[in-house]
Amino acid sequence: MTRIIADISVSLDGFVTGPGPGPESGLGAGGDALHTWAFSDDPDDRRLLREATARSGAVVLGRRLFDLVDGPGGWNDETGYGAGEVGKPAFVVVTSTPPAAVRLADLDWTFVTTGLADAIAAARTRAEAASAARGTDLDVVLMGGGATVGSAVAAGLVSTLSLHLAPVLLGSGTPLFPPHTPQRPLTQRSVLRTSTSTHLVYDVG
């Protein structure tokens, strides 16, 4: 079964970037601490990253995050989705206007201009096709940014919420959930504490 998983790193005070995120500093001041777990040598962190990315059939991201990863200082041969733990899933970008050109032309990009729900539907189609081709269940992963993930959870478009809780207080930045987010019942499925983070997985009602 294809799950729709919102997967994001967050500070203890609820921010997914530090203050002042922008083209030169996508995670803002101090925001790199949120992703320490993804590059650590802790065996549990490595296993979690490997298992999660291996199940990625398609990945959804917002336009601001796309501009960062496709920009001059973005992903390259050494860094990218899953920090080298996975191949190349399809990527679906929610945007009002597709870019004129793509730097990372070796990746499979789809640009959806009709909203987040349609982008997730397109990603589900790609993930299900990849599942059939590989003979195993693959997921749709919403990797960010914060507005994309928070809006998807608020709209009831997500079945699983995977949070990587970093031991840091950022004070300000991009909040994970917008103000007045509707109530959503959560069922806790797993908790994994590593040397760098606390990894939490919830089913979303």
Is the bond into 84 cis (omega within 30 degrees of 0)?
no
39: CB partners within 8 A, 6+ apart: 83
Q: What is the pTM of this model?
A: 0.91
Q: Is 3 helix (H, G, I), strand (E, B) or coil?
A: coil
Distance separating alpha carbons of residues 203 and 205, to the nearest angstrom: 7
**Percentage with pLDDT > 90 across the chain:** 72
pLDDT at 66: 94
Residues 131-155: what's their mean pLDDT?
92
Instruction: Please give the C-alpha separations between residue 187 and each of 6, 71, 114, in angstroms, as whole numbers.
Output: 14, 37, 31
Residue 67 has pLDDT above 70, yes or no: yes
What is the band of 83 on the pLDDT scale with cuts at 50, 70, 90?
very low
pLDDT at 85: 52
Query: Which CATH architecture does the domain made up of 4-15+29-136+146-204 adopt?
Result: 3-Layer(aba) Sandwich (3.40)
Tokens at 148, concatenated: 């994309």
Residues 78-95: what's their mean pLDDT?
75
pLDDT at 125: 97
Torsion 78-80-86-89 (CA) sign:
negative
Name the average pLDDT for the chain: 92
What digits encode the pLDDT tens for the residues 21-49?
A: 877 778 899 999 999 999 999 999 999 98
What digits encode the pLDDT tens for the residues 98-121?
A: 999 999 988 899 999 999 999 999
pLDDT at 74: 87
Tokens at 156, concatenated: 């009831």
Residues 74-85: what's their mean pLDDT?
68
> Cβ(151)–Cβ(178) under 8 Å?
yes
pLDDT at 87: 59
140: CB partners within 8 A, 6+ apart: 2, 3, 4, 5, 57, 58, 59, 60, 120, 123, 124, 127
All structural domains of the chain with their residue ranges:
4-15+29-136+146-204
pLDDT at 81: 74
Residue 82 has pLDDT above 80, yes or no: no
pLDDT at 23: 75
Residue 86 has pLDDT above 60, yes or no: no
> Cβ(87)–Cβ(51) under 8 Å?
no
